[in-house]
């Protein structure tokens, strides 16, 4: 005997299908409960349950006193792969291992598929970093170390995201920012923090951008690997098999 799906679940799936088809857009407000009840010919109670189901799948969010809206990334929670539940000693090296596999190839794709505006954006971010470096060298900065550190990370993530977007691979665009954000939260060692503020940080990114602009696939791969590995060293992160894995090809 197959159990019948609940009415509320059926309604939730119908609303979800509308969102997938774009009939209700991202960020848009759902119709009022009464309207939905009339549309699907069910009780208000069933509509409420359906909405709860959609909330639990991060498809819609309730803004108290305002209404129910389609999430900006429907279906994706803040921690979709459950990193919170992993042992940090495992999470660290595993994330870097996957990043080493994906990121160099994604940057190669970016070189071949990217638009001029993606690369211009990346170049602008580097100019901002260099400006910050100069200010710091002249001790003109009124910002605290903690503020600078935060700023550097924001620049770093925006820089990398330019290339994820340029790669035009939607899955990479969902997985890699997640990995980068998680690594960011893990990098808390003092040596890593001070490196963030060094001029090397700037030049390393500049070299990658140059290789991408030159569409030099092998150089892109080499520089990306070096960059990720150096990052883990500065962050005092241990890689899994220091020698064995993901050998240079």
Residues 113-152 that bind a second copy (CB under 8 A): 113
Q: The tokens of 106 are what?
A: 């994604």
Do the Cβ atoms of 163 and 176 come closer than 8 Å? no
Range in contact with a second copy (rule: CB under 8 A) among 139-147, 149-157, 163-171, 187-195:
163-171
Residue 90 lies near a second copy (rule: CB under 8 A): yes
Q: Is residue 186 a contact point for a second copy (CB under 8 A)? A: no
d(CA 92, CA 96): 6
Q: Which stretch binds a second copy (CB under 8 A): 107-115, 122-130, 139-147, 149-157?
A: 107-115
Length of the chain: 249
Long-range contacts of 188-192 (CB under 8 A, 24+ apart): 189/234, 189/235, 189/236, 191/234, 191/235, 191/236, 192/231, 192/234, 192/235, 192/236
State the nearest-atom distance from the C-beta of 84 to a second copy, in Å.
6
- Closer CB to a second copy, 102 or 125, in the complex: 102
Least distance to a second copy, CB of residue 124, Å: 27
Shortest Cβ 83–a second copy spacing (Å): 8
Which residues of the chain form contacts with a second copy (CB under 8 A)? 16, 19-20, 52, 55-58, 73-77, 79-86, 90-91, 94-95, 97-98, 101-102, 105-106, 108-109, 112-113, 168-172, 174-175, 179, 217, 240-241, 244-247, 249
């Amino acid at each position: 005997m197959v159990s019948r799906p609940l009415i509320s679940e059926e309604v939730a799936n119908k609303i979800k299908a509308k969102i997938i088809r774009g009939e209700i857009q991202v960020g848009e407000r759902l119709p009022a409960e009464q309207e939905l009840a009339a549309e699907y010919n069910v009780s208000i109670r069933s509509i409420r349950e359906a909405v709860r189901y959609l909330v639990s799948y991060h498809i819609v969010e309730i803004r108290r006193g305002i209404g129910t809206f389609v999430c900006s990334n429907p279906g994706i929670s803040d921690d979709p792969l459950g990193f919170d539940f992993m042992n940090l000693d495992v999470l660290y090296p595993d994330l870097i291992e996957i990043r080493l596999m994906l990121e160099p190839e994604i940057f190669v794709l970016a070189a071949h598929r990217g638009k001029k505006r993606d690369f211009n954006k990346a170049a602008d971010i580097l100019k901002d970093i260099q400006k910050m470096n100069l200010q710091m060298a002249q001790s003109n900065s009124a910002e605290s170390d903690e503020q600078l550190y935060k700023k550097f990370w924001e620049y770093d993530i925006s820089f990398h995201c330019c290339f994820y977007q340029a790669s035009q691979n939607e899955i990479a665009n969902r997985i890699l920012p997640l990995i980068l954000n998680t690594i960011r939260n893990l990098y808390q060692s003092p040596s890593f923090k001070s490196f963030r503020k060094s001029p090397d940080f700037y030049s390393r990114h500049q070299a990658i951008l140059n290789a991408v602009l030159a569409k030099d696939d092998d150089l892109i791969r080499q520089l990306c690997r070096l960059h990720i590995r150096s990052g883990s060293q500065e962050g005092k992160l241990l890689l899994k098999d220091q020698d064995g894995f993901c050998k240079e090809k």
